Amino acid sequence: MRREIDLNEISDGRLYTSNDMVKIGCNDCAGCSECCRMVEDTILLDPYDIYQLEQVLKAEFEQLMAGYIELRVVDGLIQPHLKMRLEEGCVFLSGEGRCTIHDHRPGFCRMFPMGRIYQEQGFKYFLQVHECSYPNKTKVKLRKWLGIPALDTYEKYIREWHAFVQEQVESVENTENQEIIKKLNLYLLNQFYVNQYKIDEDFYPQFYERLEEAKPVTVLYR
């Protein structure tokens, strides 16, 4: 089942773009790192996140599965997420409360405490007001907070990936044939995650090639 969220309960009621200023800065919090300990299995990883992890760890997907990520089913689709330890939180959190893959951390980590809400024309960001209790936040331009290279290209990719994933979620919701659901999931897992990305080449051309290949194939599973 897809999750319904009530923005009035969890946000300040505003929607933001990456060019907006938002009161989220916690630069003098000395790395309280609560946001890296309390997230359980919620940090889902998209193909760009996997590419980033493969780059920084110089590892293939199977090696990531051996220690850093796990799989779970979300909305009928198998998706990877960051592995969490019982007490210490994220596997990438150091004993000093620092992220050891800071420059390659996943998109969800970069956004925190912002979230994304998808609309017909793409998505906007919203501020999750109950997620970080740090009292002295400063205003920061969201684009700077995210710190993602070529952000416009990234946001376009996020829109297209999300639209594609939603189509697959609908396919799963519209069939009770478990064999088809299993085959679709295996195909998507291999096509977008397991098959190694070329880590010394740009991510986006690789992704779009896979996406164009996948579109006619996934139609067969409807």
Residues found near ligand SF4 in the complex (CB under 6 A): 26, 29, 31-36, 43, 82, 90, 92-93, 99, 101, 105-106, 109, 112-113, 132, 134
Nearer to ligand SF4, 40 or 167 (CB): 40
Sign of CA dihedral 37, 126, 147, 43: positive
Residue 83 Cβ vs ligand SF4, minimum distance, rounded to whole Å: 9
Nearer to ligand SF4, 83 or 162 (CB): 83
Nearer to ligand SF4, 88 or 160 (CB): 88
Nearer to ligand SF4, 93 or 181 (CB): 93
Strands 84-85 and 89-90: antiparallel
Residue with tokens 């070329």: 198
Question: Looking at the DSSP assignment, which residues form a beta bridge with residue 68?
Answer: none
Residue 33 Cβ vs ligand SF4, minimum distance, rounded to whole Å: 5
3-class DSSP state of 14: coil
* Structure tokens that stand for 108 in this block: 């969800």
Q: What is the DSSP letter of 128?
A: B
Nearer to ligand SF4, 36 or 142 (CB): 36
Residue 95 Cβ vs ligand SF4, minimum distance, rounded to whole Å: 12
Query: Cβ(63)–Cβ(199) under 8 Å?
Result: no
Q: Of 38, 51, 49, whose CA–CA distance to 85 is shortest? A: 38
Residues 6+ apart with CB under 8 A from 159: 122, 123
Residue 183 Cβ vs ligand SF4, minimum distance, rounded to whole Å: 32
The neighbour count for residue 209, using CB atoms within 10 Å, is 10
Residue 63 Cβ vs ligand SF4, minimum distance, rounded to whole Å: 17
Torsions phi, psi of 36, nearest 5?
A: -105, 0
Nearer to ligand SF4, 74 or 180 (CB): 74
Residue 201 Cβ vs ligand SF4, minimum distance, rounded to whole Å: 23
